[in-house]
Structure 1
Amino acid sequence: MKKFVIAALGGTIAGTLLSVQVAPLLAEEASKPASVYQELDLFGDVFRRIRGDYVEQVDDKKLIEAAINGMLSSLDPHSSYMPADEYDDMKVQTRGSFGGLGIEVTMENGAVKVVSPMDGTPASAAGILSGDFITHVNGESLMGLTLDDAVDKMRGPVGSEVTLKIVREGKTEPFDVTLTRDTIKLTAVKGRLEANTAILRITTFNDQTFPNLQESLKKVAEEAGGIDKLNGVILDLRNNPGGLLTQAIAVSDAFLDKGEIVSTRGRKPEESERFNATPGDLAQGKPIVVLINGGSASASEIVTGALQDHHRAIVVGTKSFGKGSVQTVIPVQNDGAMRLTTSRYYTPSGRSIQALGIAPDIVVPQPPAAPETDKAEDTPETRSEADLRGVLSNDSMTEDEKKQAEDERAKAEEAAKLRLEDFQLAYGIDIIKGLAVAGQTLVPVDEPKAAAKP
């Protein structure tokens, strides 16, 4: 089997069966004061006491699985054990279709925190936001549970309802949100044309991300009349929690001709790897803007860091999540698997974004959505010279020129409307427009400046 690594807060991929030479390890440890033998004896003694003396009868399998998961989860928030059923679910997710609410979550100080809601899912429709904390599911507290156990509480049959209690920054009291579970079908990339700019919304990094990216950009370019008609490209990575490392590398490579994309460094020097770009740029040198926010994590940060360090893109939005580690999913006995943090990753300049995140080149917060009552209010009617009775005609423009001026005004009004709907996206489009008007593009650098060392 092939070995894969994931760069996400959640995700599933097939890994290799890891064989461990236990005997040499035990022999080496035997000389130490607290040997592995003694520690295993301690574990066995505790296990026997629980089986024999606990107030209720325990399930041996569940007890051992809990011990394994406790061992892994004590390492970091992203290492964990997956029993066979969870492992099967995770493998399905990387293929892009599964049942659930459409929320990526992580653990923060023992609480379940939303990394991002996925586009077009019950969580997104219900208004769940990145940074929300989920404290209860159907009235049952999640405090003290592992992340996998908390996620289990949120799972259920498609069509069934679940009520989440949410704690949100800026709200004085927790509040309940009721969602209906649905089949989550993730389209990795959605493309559209906006003001002669290709908008590529990347929601996840699964097996389909790079093929979807190629196809989406091709369709948008055809709609514009050819890629030469495009002003530039916007990669929207907001609320993208990550996914497969291989796909993050492929997406970065799509817009870089050469140079390092990312490096990973494990515990041993020989486990370090560097991934470099190959010739070819899908955007053909057009300017690129990358949109990020606090829900952009891991694989999203790899792409952002690579394009930012090479000066291939301008990064707009707010600081990203800050997950700079890579997990390997390793199948074990009984058809389960463990997700183990095996390396850290570094951007081309050598910086680690672990617990720091990526700072945008231009910080642009997203204004909160206006209440429906505000949207419904009529704006005052304005009048111009053209509305006056008996107005003089404009004798300096032909009918075709007048039509062109009207078209340009309509486009400007659409752009103003977009600012109300999605200010960050509108800001990115304005940057692309400005570069196009000035006849400028972004000139990539082959060797990014090395990150400063403390």
Structure 2
Amino acid sequence: MALRILPPSKFTALLTLLLLGWTHSLQGQTAADYPQATYQALLQDDATTDTSEKPQQQDEELYALIKLLVDTLDQIDRNYVKEVDRRELINGAIQGMLGKLDRHSNYIPPSNVDSFKSRVENEFGGIGIRIRNDDGKPTIITPMFGSPAYKAGIRPGDVILSINEQTTEGKSPNDIVNALKGKIGSKVKLALHTPSSNESATVEVERSLIRVKSVLGAERNEDDSWNYFLDEKNKIGYLLVTNFGRHTTGEILDVVKGLKSKGVKGLIVDLRYNPGGLLSAAIQISDMFVKEGRIVSTEGRATPKRIWDAKAAGTFDDFPMAILINQFSASASEILSACLQDHERAVIVGQRSFGKGSVQNLIELEDGKSVLKLTTAGYFRPSGKNIDKPSADGSDEWGVSPNNGF
């Protein structure tokens, strides 16, 4: 094995000086020094300068570790046998650090940020279709009700042959989706083939803001809108909640008001396969059905304890409820289920839930070009229990379990 000892470069020396200044500048900063809302939850508002020896030792240790990382990056960049991509090296280093944490903390690189934000926001600029890849042919599953694609006459089964005169042959589903998305108000030209009639056509569709509904009903009406009654005779309502997004609270509120106006006598909320979403949405929806008492509380190593209690105003509590869950119901789904179960507001039916009792903060990096999703706290149901499976320490106290007999 041939070894050579290589000296540090000017690049390393410069970065070391910068990092030394950066670590010293950390002392004495408070939340006011971090205008981004995503950072404020991670810092105490009353943070003060600590002049004791321990913080100084911690700063020195941090400086030494960062210098080690910079030295390693520099040596790989200058001396590795093949040319390397610096961005890929940094991404790998970040993923390596997060790999030492829990499975819910992760890094979203610039190439994936747009699709990640679309999932969180449940909205994007596009034409509003769902597609599948049948033998390499992008085929329409369904146009979303009221979307530009729906209004343009695009129907299930249509095959997309080209997008803006670029063939779809050999393109991945992600490539197809990205080609269909774009700036609101811009137009996209689609060449379509309808196998059932063996007809082909070209349509031009104007992109608009597509908001993916997270609250679905029991079945479609004749006009393709949702029917939220599972049993119209007995006035039993049914909501299928696919995730907890930014607009989920408003969607549920509108549906429940509509059901109330039609004399609803019972409500089923289906959270099966719901992976969760925004903590704020779970709290708001819980408050919708519980008149008083604790909804949820959170606490972490660097975050103070926070509690959320229900308020009586606007509560829907004059009809019985059932919540459907299974082993894939997680996070915000478990917050809502646990709250309604502990307050005896709803019967929980199905299987024990996933057991994710942690809260992640979304922290923008590189001025929003990338995102760090970091676990910062655990949440506790009204009974005071944390339902996180990894935190159960071998006990059976995790997840949300169905009521006895259900």
The two structures have a TM-score, normalised by structure 2, of: 0.60
Amino acid at match of 2:107: Y
Taking only the aligned residue pairs, the percentage that are identical comes to 36
Amino acid at match of 2:230: E
Aligned to 1:84, which of 84, 105, 110?
110
Match of 2:176 in 1: 157
Does structure 1 residue 62 correspond to structure 2 residue 98?
Answer: no
Q: 1: CA distance between counterparts of 2:329 and 2:110?
A: 29
Q: 1: CA distance between counterparts of 2:365 and 2:59?
A: 30
- The Cα offsets for residues 241-272 of structure 1, whole Å up to 9 and x where unpaired, read as 1111111001100000000000001114x611
Match of 2:164 in 1: none
The change in CA–CA distance for 1:343 and 1:17 in structure 2 (over 3 A counts) is closer
Does structure 1 residue 315 correspond to structure 2 residue 341?
Answer: no
Match of 2:317 in 1: 284
Q: 1: CA distance between counterparts of 2:285 and 2:59?
A: 50
Does structure 1 residue 41 correspond to structure 2 residue 67?
Answer: yes
The change in CA–CA distance for 1:261 and 1:33 in structure 2 (over 3 A counts) is closer
Q: Which runs of 5+ in 1 are unaligned?
A: 4-13, 103-118, 122-152, 161-182, 365-454
Match of 2:255 in 1: 216
Q: What SS class does the counterpart of residue 175 from structure 2 fall into?
A: coil
Q: 2: CA distance between counterparts of 1:316 and 1:252?
A: 17
Report if aligned partners of 1:295, 1:320 keep a CA contact under 8 Å in 2: yes
Does structure 1 residue 235 correspond to structure 2 residue 298?
Answer: no
Q: What SS class does the counterpart of residue 271 from structure 1 fall into?
A: coil
- The Cα offsets for residues 126-182 of structure 1, whole Å up to 9 and x where unpaired, read as xxxxxxxxxxxxxxxxxxxxxxxxxxx98432299xxxxxxxxxxxxxxxxxxxxxx
Match of 1:187 in 2: 213
Q: 2: CA distance between counterparts of 1:51 and 1:186?
A: 44
Report if aligned partners of 1:29, 1:36 keep a CA contact under 8 Å in 2: no
Match of 2:402 in 1: 360
**How far is the alpha carbon of 1:88 from its aligned partner?**
3.1
**How far is the alpha carbon of 1:289 from its aligned partner?**
0.5
Q: What SS class does the counterpart of residue 355 from structure 2 fall into?
A: coil
Q: 1: CA distance between counterparts of 2:173 and 2:404?
A: 37
**How far is the alpha carbon of 1:188 from its aligned partner?**
1.5
The change in CA–CA distance for 1:276 and 1:59 in structure 2 (over 3 A counts) is same
Report if aligned partners of 2:287, 2:315 keep a CA contact under 8 Å in 1: no
Q: 1: CA distance between counterparts of 2:241 and 2:364?
A: 29
**How far is the alpha carbon of 1:70 from its aligned partner?**
2.0
The change in CA–CA distance for 1:272 and 1:201 in structure 2 (over 3 A counts) is same
Amino acid at match of 2:71: D
Report if aligned partners of 2:291, 2:317 keep a CA contact under 8 Å in 1: no
The change in CA–CA distance for 1:48 and 1:233 in structure 2 (over 3 A counts) is same
Match of 2:240 in 1: 201
- The Cα offsets for residues 367-395 of structure 1, whole Å up to 9 and x where unpaired, read as xxxxxxxxxxxxxxxxxxxxxxxxxxxxx
Report if aligned partners of 2:38, 2:361 keep a CA contact under 8 Å in 1: no
Q: 2: CA distance between counterparts of 1:338 and 1:72?
A: 10
Q: 2: CA distance between counterparts of 1:197 and 1:33?
A: 61
**How far is the alpha carbon of 1:56 from its aligned partner?**
1.8
The root-mean-square deviation of aligned C-alpha atoms, in Å, is 3.7
Match of 1:330 in 2: 363
**How far is the alpha carbon of 1:333 from its aligned partner?**
2.4
Higher relative contact order (CA 8 A, sep 6+): 1
Q: 2: CA distance between counterparts of 1:41 and 1:352?
A: 38
Q: Which runs of 5+ in 2 are unaligned?
A: 1-30, 132-140, 144-171, 180-208, 218-227, 390-397
Q: 1: CA distance between counterparts of 2:334 and 2:105?
A: 19
Aligned to 1:342, which of 370, 376, 383?
376
- The Cα offsets for residues 288-330 of structure 1, whole Å up to 9 and x where unpaired, read as 1000011111000000000001111100000111110000111
The change in CA–CA distance for 1:294 and 1:26 in structure 2 (over 3 A counts) is farther
